[in-house]
Amino acid sequence: MRKIATFGLTGLSLLATVALIAPAASAAGTTIRSDSATGAAYSGNVRGTLISSTVRFASSAGNATCNRSTLTASVRSDGTALSVSALSFSDSSSTNGSCPNDQGGRTTIAPATLPWSGGNVTYAPVAGGRDGTITLTNVSARVDSSNWLGVRITCYFVGSGANNSITGNLYNKDNANRPVTSVADAQASLSGASLRLTSGSSPCPTTATLTGAYRLLGESAAGSGTFNRALYVTG
């Protein structure tokens, strides 16, 4: 009997966990500050850099891991108008930006449309946990995957929340519960972040998740491109 080749495809989702914040709502009672919890209000660009060992994309059809990821966004000091202008995923094992998957192949993940505008940061502390949440809206991404046979497939995903959104947790640099305690900077935690499939041929999974942690820094001066300023989310 002829053996039928099966294809496992990694999934994708971005920056989420826990409670979903209504994307269009104002982040009332929220102030993003620079340098310290009592520092000046900060509006401007933010750089997110992967600090967990990997970002793991998982679905019922397979998984992929990337050990490099960077996000660039902008936000107002009251937490509103969060907009992602750049996002990348790659792995040190590749020169073309692809990441290894557990189907013996490679996976490439890329934003389908940028910017992702209309998101927010909200001060929402939980005892023994986070200091706030981050919601990205209008999230969309293309995932290209291959298996050990070289069979390739392309799937398109959007955020599974309202207005194609995803949500994650934020931690201040002095929060003992931050995901990577060896890094003394603000952090975003990604755990089980969800996207839903919008198009793609079989066997694209209908949902997927992301797990990872990012360091968040503001610019030393507006437009400088140097990200070394500590950030705090406060009420």
pLDDT at res. 20: 32
Judge contact between 135 and 120, C-beta under 8 A: yes
- Residue appearing with tokens 């989420």: 16
217's enclosing H/E stretch is strand 207-219
> In the structure, what pLDDT confidence band is assigned to residue 57 with cuts at 50, 70 and 90?
confident
The first and second tokens of residue 133, run together, are 């949440």
Task: Give dist(CA 14, CA 143) in Å, integer.
Answer: 12
pLDDT at res. 28: 56
- Of 214, 13, 6, 8, nearest to 109 (Cα)? 13
Q: Where does residue 44 fall: left (phi above 0), alpha (psi -120 to 50 degrees), or beta otherwise?
A: left
pLDDT at res. 134: 94
pLDDT, tens digit, for every residue of 135-168? 999 999 999 999 999 889 999 999 999 999 999 9
**Taking residues 96-109, what's their average pLDDT?**
94
pLDDT at res. 21: 35
pLDDT at res. 19: 32
Q: pTM of this prediction?
A: 0.86
Q: Is pLDDT at 116 greater than 50 in this prediction?
A: yes
